Amino acid sequence: MIYHILNGDALAYSFPDAKIPGAIIVVREALIDGNLSGNHLPDFWQVRAKYMALTATEYQSQVVKEFEKIMQAPDDSEFNLWFEYDLFCQVNMWFVLSLIHRLPIQKKVFAVYTSYLNETSKHFWNGFGPANSAELQVCYANRISLTETDLPFGQELWEAYKKGNLEELTNLSKKQSFAFPYLQEVVEAQVDRFPQDGTKGRPERVMEDILKSISTDFPKVFQEFWNRESIYGFGDTQLKRLYDKVIHSR
């Protein structure tokens, strides 16, 4: 069985047009934000549902049901992980890899990145959105095969992130792997969210500067933050929460 694991519904809408064979699984989580407690998946699902302000039934049908497709995959399955380079996507991918690694089956795993873009593109850190069918096919053709060490490494990254262990995450980021091409940059962005000297985190400082020097209009703030810090991959929800926090503290 071939699976394409897509990070969010935006890509899921356009993906079928690329006519790449395989079943679609949509990740509808934002693990870059919120409570990550819970040592077992049922507890974790409950915590995440509460954080996302969904009922248990809503979270089950919208989110867990998709993850269960991974956990119920048959032997000799192939997983293609369509995640971008930014922190938002990478954290979700680490969690997905932790699920896949635990599967007691023979499997092949590939990372599909936005290889049709170069590093100077304004969409580099968040780039599947504007991709057309031909460009998605190029991304698929350039997919990266994960080695036997990449899967447990993905799980280690997830566990360090989940525990908020920035030192361990930093140490892990020094490991070189084709499957995680910008690992040091995204881990540095994560560490910068939580300075150890008690100062404000990088996203908050950037938000303050935008509000002071550019605009207080949220759409304009969103665009400017994305231009400056697209490495975070923050969506409307994360940026609105950050925006409200900074506005209320002024």
Residue-level pLDDT at 26: 98
Residues 6+ apart with CB under 8 A from 133: 14, 17, 18, 19
Instruction: Select 2-176's CATH number: 3.40.50.1370, 3.40.1360.10, 1.10.40.30, 3.30.300.90.
Output: 3.40.1360.10
Examine the pLDDT at 59 and tell me if it is beyond 90.
yes
Q: What own/partner pairs with CB < 8 Å and gap ≥ 24 does 72-77 have?
A: 73/1, 73/3, 73/103, 73/105, 73/107, 74/1, 74/105, 75/105, 75/106, 76/1, 76/105, 76/106, 76/107, 77/1, 77/2, 77/3, 77/103, 77/105, 77/106, 77/107, 77/108
Q: Helix H segments across the chain? A: 9-14, 41-51, 56-59, 65-71, 87-102, 133-141, 150-163, 166-173, 183-191, 202-213, 218-229, 236-248
pLDDT digits (tens, 9 = 90+) for 79-115: 999 999 999 999 999 999 999 999 999 999 999 999 8
Domain ranges of the chain: 2-176, 202-248
Whether the model clears a pTM of 0.85, i.e. scores above it, the answer is: yes
pLDDT, one tens digit per residue, over 182-229 is 999 999 999 999 998 889 999 999 999 999 999 999 999 999 999 999
pLDDT of residue 120: 77
| pLDDT over 80 at 61, yes or no | yes
CB 57 within 8 A of CB 115: no
Position with higher pLDDT, 117 vs 139: 139
